[in-house]
């Protein structure tokens, strides 16, 4: 049976004399007779943490070990757990999920004045994001709402938009967290196109910086009343088709203009020049339609062929990347490494890609950043620090050429492992 947390009262009742630290802001200087490590570190707020180590020397079995912590901002260390070593001097403490929400420091004490080094646990704040709409017209507002965990009421968060390459973020607006640690930020855009949006918490003495999972917003140019243009789906998967359609009315009226030749003109979203390879004729009700299957984000406009020259608003059609996501195993042990591999279609060599983990808020959060390789494949490696289940996925944020996408999620089951098999503590 692995050693587990026992009640402090039981230890005191046994008459064990272990000196408690004095009331101070710092832990005592350590010696090398008692080691400590924590895994994982850093963590997302609310993740479970395993703290372990070894008592060295002779007669090291079944000896008491006391765990102390100091939460960020607290004036002193306090006793939070007691256990005993196994026959080889190993010990462990499990801090359950939902307990470690802010940065903290750990150290342990044992026989006499034996004490470990002080270990600092880094904890990333969790930021959620929901958009009131993911498709809108120019100059029409979208409201972004969410929360920051743990509570950071009164502090500011930033609404950020990615650059065209998806490699950098710039702040377009900020908001303040209310009494429930929630925010609401309204933003509108004057030009059509794709926007990759996130909300970021800058971090403070209690938590590391955190950012929400990105959201893609499609902004369309406002319609011209007598020459409309629409799409059957504003964002399609790579390889899928859409239909561009609309109605041509007589100028300044709602009366249809039938049997009129119109051209579908298009350009890549990052290009300047339109080409007009497709033509059709409006029906008796002034309606037209064109099937399209672009391979990248494309801007469309429909124009009359003959004078008087008229045109619709510009329409943005997003084409979303496809991502595969395969774990090397779905069952592992604490301390073991699982690799996640996959491909991105179309070719995204050199683009940023994220590994995301499902947090205790039931939202995905970025835990690692890599670059897509030359052959449009990627790989992440993740070492598991605590037992239970963990859900991961990959996300590419979008690069202007294509709309970003997330892979299907994968669930990994992690079993406990003997402390002796974990990375050495110091």
Q: Tens digits of per-residue pLDDT, 300-313?
A: 999 999 998 999 99
In the three-class reduction of DSSP (H, G, I as helix; E, B as strand; rest coil), residue 239 is classed as coil
pLDDT at 235: 92
CB neighbourhood size of 2 (10 A): 12
Q: How many residues does the chain have?
A: 426
CATH class name, domain 126-219: mainly beta
Cβ contact 78:71 at 8 Å: no
For the chain, the farthest-separated pair of C-alpha atoms sits apart, in whole angstroms, at 100
pLDDT at residue 1 tops 70 = no
CATH of domain 322-415: 2.60.40.10
pTM for the full predicted model: 0.82
- Sign (positive/negative) of CA torsion 24, 27, 30, 33? positive
CB neighbourhood size of 225 (10 A): 11
Q: For the stretch 264-287, what's the b/e string if a residue is b when 16 or more beta carbons lie within 10 angstroms of its beta carbon?
A: bbbeebeeeeeeeebeeebeeebe
pLDDT at 31: 61
Cβ contact 14:63 at 8 Å: no
pLDDT at residue 27 tops 60 = no
pLDDT at residue 226 tops 80 = yes
In the three-class reduction of DSSP (H, G, I as helix; E, B as strand; rest coil), residue 12 is classed as helix
pLDDT at residue 267 tops 80 = yes
Fold classification of 8-124 is Immunoglobulin-like (2.60.40)
| CATH 2.60.40.10-classified regions of the chain | 8-124, 126-219, 322-415
pLDDT at residue 348 tops 70 = yes
CATH class name, domain 230-312: mainly beta
């Amino acid at each position: 049976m692995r050693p587990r947390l026992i009640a402090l009262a039981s230890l005191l009742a046994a008459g064990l004399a272990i000196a408690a630290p004095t009331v101070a802001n710092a832990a005592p200087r350590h010696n090398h007779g008692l080691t400590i490590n924590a895994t994982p570190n850093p963590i997302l707020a609310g993740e479970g943490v395993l703290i372990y180590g070894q008592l060295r020397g002779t007669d090291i079995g079944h000896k008491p070990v006391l765990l102390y912590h100091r939460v960020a901002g607290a004036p002193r260390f306090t006793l939070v757990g007691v256990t005993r070593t196994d026959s080889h001097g190993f010990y462990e403490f499990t801090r359950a999920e939902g307990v470690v929400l802010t940065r903290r420091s750990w150290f342990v004490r044992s026989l006499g004045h034996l004490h470990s080094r002080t270990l600092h646990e880094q904890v990333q704040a969790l930021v959620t994001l929901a958009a009131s709409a993911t498709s809108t017209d120019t100059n029409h507002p979208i409201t972004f709402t969410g929360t920051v965990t743990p509570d950071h009421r009164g502090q500011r968060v930033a609404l950020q938009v990615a650059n065209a390459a998806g490699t950098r973020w710039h702040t377009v607006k900020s908001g303040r967290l209310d009494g429930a640690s929630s925010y609401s930020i309204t933003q509108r855009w004057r030009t059509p196109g794709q926007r990759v949006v996130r909300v970021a918490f800058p971090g403070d003495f209690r938590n590391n910086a955190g950012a929400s999972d990105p959201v893609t917003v499609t902004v369309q140019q406002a319609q011209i009343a007598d020459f409309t243009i629409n799409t059957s789906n504003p964002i399609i998967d790579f390889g899928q088709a859409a239909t561009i359609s609309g109605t041509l009315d007589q100028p300044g009226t709602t009366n249809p203009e039938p049997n009129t030749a119109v051209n579908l003109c298009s350009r890549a979203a990052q290009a300047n020049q339109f080409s007009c390879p497709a033509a059709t004729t409006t029906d008796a009700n002034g309606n037209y339609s064109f099937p399209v299957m672009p391979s990248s984000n494309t801007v469309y406009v429909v124009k009359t062929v003959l004078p008087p020259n008229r045109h619709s608003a510009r329409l943005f059609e997003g084409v979303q990347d496809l991502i595969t996501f395969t774990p090397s195993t779905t069952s592992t042990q604490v301390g073991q490494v699982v690799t996640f591999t996959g491909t991105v279609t179309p070719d995204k060599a050199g683009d940023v890609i994220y590994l995301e983990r499902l947090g205790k808020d039931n939202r995905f959060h970025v835990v690692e950043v890599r670059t897509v390789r030359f052959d449009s494949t990627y790989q992440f490696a993740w070492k598991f620090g605590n037992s239970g289940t963990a859900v991961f996925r990959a996300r590419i944020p979008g690069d202007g050429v294509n709309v970003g996408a997330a892979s299907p999620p994968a669930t990994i089951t992690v079993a406990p492992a003997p402390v002796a098999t974990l990375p050495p503590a110091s």
